[in-house]
Structure 1
């Protein structure tokens, strides 16, 4: 599939506001709402672009953990697929020549960490090593906000599409009753109120109020699942950095300003910063590491692992 300028603009617009209407996006881009709808359907069907609605772990006080699992090459994909089916995993990737699985997990602060992080792991002798690292601060990516990779829209267009958060709003408390709504939005974050009412069994007025309340308070946010290769980015690499403790904040902030970085966070463990870089190709990644990343004051050691396969990127597994 060929991706043109308008495709990039529509995708960028959805990353800014995943529930913006076709008419709203069209007005900003200077095209008709029918054109936007047609482009989005094509991007969904042919390029795998998908908007998902997700609970905001920061607003809800959840802990986020990164699991690093080492497995035999013939077992890695099976283990990764089992992790991807868990509702508490947010993403799952296979790296390092097919021997390492890396996954993000959200854990309610009151939950039993050991049970969720370790006891529920696939039980197989082919899993040879496990480590878990708690994310203690997010700098860019996910609920923190879009990275700088997209450049299809102008600053004025971005401002026009950025949703306003009501002044004084507080995080709505998610309850068990919200489960069908969250499940529906994790499949498709652009479902209309009528469709959501059918999936939840709620009156449409209740769905409308609850969706507006949860998104307005920041308890839910949207993100966009894409295949980076279709947009010209063929090198996705996970990074683990050892940074002098006094420089962690400054390096993390610097990473958030690098267009190559789509995720960056401070973590516990033998390394203290985790990041994901997406570059045009591996030579571009080499230039990024040698000319920018390694020159940041405080960076002492860099570990990198190319992503071989995204088993789960966002929301529910397709």
Structure 2
């Protein structure tokens, strides 16, 4: 199915926008805001999710009270091997995002693992051993200033947005909430939301063996404590914003806050992160056309003259995003449950084995 043959209309896009603002809101709450009967909204959502055109996923990237070790990994492949390498990485629970892209790398992978030693094991004994991989270069994320779930469509009016969020003024980049721990016993509940974050409390309770009140209390605590976040998305080709780009930049450390403010003030900005390495800042953007990249980068540097953009990668095919594997039109194929707490290279010979061989 192509964008031209899709049955998606403006009401569908408005529904996705509403669910970006209130992912688990009932159809009864959404109906009056959108001016549509609740049962009509439910049928539309069922059609969109069945076609892979829209979805809501839950992601719990936290270890106790700490975020995991996250990194951008650039992968260079031998000629013609990048499709196979990309497919392998797309099926990996630690690869949260996978893109085939332009520039000095064939693949750009966003990785989440428990800690730095796990990142070493993942790169050395997993990624670098995939047939066709020539080399990798990684940049560890040191701060997430704007996470990707903050990006919104632009279908709803200001009044509709305020009705859903309870805000009387637009605040697209609020201060992050205080962090609550994600305990080991919470992880199965969080992973159960990876494919469908609108699952009912009753179904989660049946699957987990917990009471409905316990499930509801845990979900409320995790969400309020910033340990569980929801991502409402739709196929890029149908969204009106089909182009994805990643920018690397260099900015003085004392200007990072200004850089975040400048980038987040632009409609196209999806993510802002501080990273290690020769360039200390990355910006992810959603754009309407490839030609918009020049205008976007020019506006960034106009707003912050001290920002030096050092590289830009345009996604040729977003193979995986937020743990969802996608086709070339951006429709969801399947969910790869992001169990990032597992061993990223089971059975591999790790540092302990290397030490024992040196001693011997």
Q: TM-score of the superposition, structure 2-length normalised?
A: 0.77
The Cα offsets for residues 296-316 of structure 1, whole Å up to 9 and x where unpaired, read as: 311223311210112211235
- The reply on whether 1:16 has 2:21 as its aligned counterpart is yes
CA RMSD of aligned residues (A): 2.7
Contact 1:82 1:122 in 2 (8 A): no
> Normalized per residue, which structure has more helix?
1
Is 1:116 aligned to residue 122 of structure 2?
Answer: yes
- Cα pair 2:71 2:111 within 8 Å, conserved: yes
1:198 maps to which of 203, 206, 211:
206
Q: Contact conserved, 1:50 with 1:225, CA < 8 A, in 2? A: yes
Structure 1 residues 281 and 141: CA distance shift in structure 2, 3 A:
same
Tell me the CA shift for residue 230 of structure 1: 0.5
Preserved contact between residue 62 and residue 182 of structure 2 (Cα < 8 Å):
no
Preserved contact between residue 241 and residue 273 of structure 1 (Cα < 8 Å):
yes
Question: Does residue 33 of the first structure (1) align with residue 38 of the second (2)?
Answer: yes
2:179 maps to 1:174: no
Alignment match, 1:49: 54
**In the TM superposition, what whole-angstrom CA distance separates every residue of 1:174-221 from its partner, at most 9, and x where no partner exists?**
21x334322220111111122223333434343233223322322111
Match of 2:144 in 1: 138
Structure 2 partner of 1:235: 243
Q: Does 2:87 match 1:95? A: no
For 2:137 and 2:217, the matched residues in 1 are separated by 41
Partner of 2:279: 271
Give 1:162 shift: 2.9
Do residues 128 (structure 1) and 137 (structure 2) align? no
Moved more, 278-287 or 115-124: 115-124
State the TM-score, normalizing by the size of structure 1.
0.87
How far is 1:125 from its partner? 5.2
Count of residues paired in the alignment: 311
Show the counterpart of 1:6. 11
Q: Whole-Å Cα distance in 1 between the matches of residues 121 and 313 of structure 2?
A: 28
Quick check: 1:248–1:298 contact (8 Å CA) kept in 2? no
CA gap of 1:259–1:169, structure 2 versus 1, over 3 A, is closer
Q: Secondary structure at the match of 2:51?
A: helix
CA separation in 2, counterparts of 1:215 and 1:173?
10
**Corresponding residue SS for 2:100:** strand
Contact 2:59/2:191 (8 A) holds in 1:
no
Select the residue among 293, 301, 304 that pairs with 1:294.
301
Distance 2:145 2:137 in 1: 22
Say if 1:18 and 1:190, in contact at 8 Å, map to a contact too. Answer: yes
- Which structure's CA Rg is the greater one? 2
Alignment of 1:222-261 (within 5 A): 222-261=230-269
| Residue matched to 1:158 | 161
User: 2: distance between equivalents of 1:139 and 1:170?
Assistant: 15
After TM superposition, give the deviation of residue 11 of structure 1 in Å: 0.7
Higher mean C-alpha displacement, 98-107 vs 42-51: 98-107
Structure 2 alignment gaps of length 5 or more: 1-5, 168-176, 326-333, 335-360
Q: Deviation digits for residues 7-64 of structure 1, max 9, x if unmatched?
A: 2211111111211111111122222211221221222223521100111449643232
Which residue pairs with 2:112 in the alignment? 106
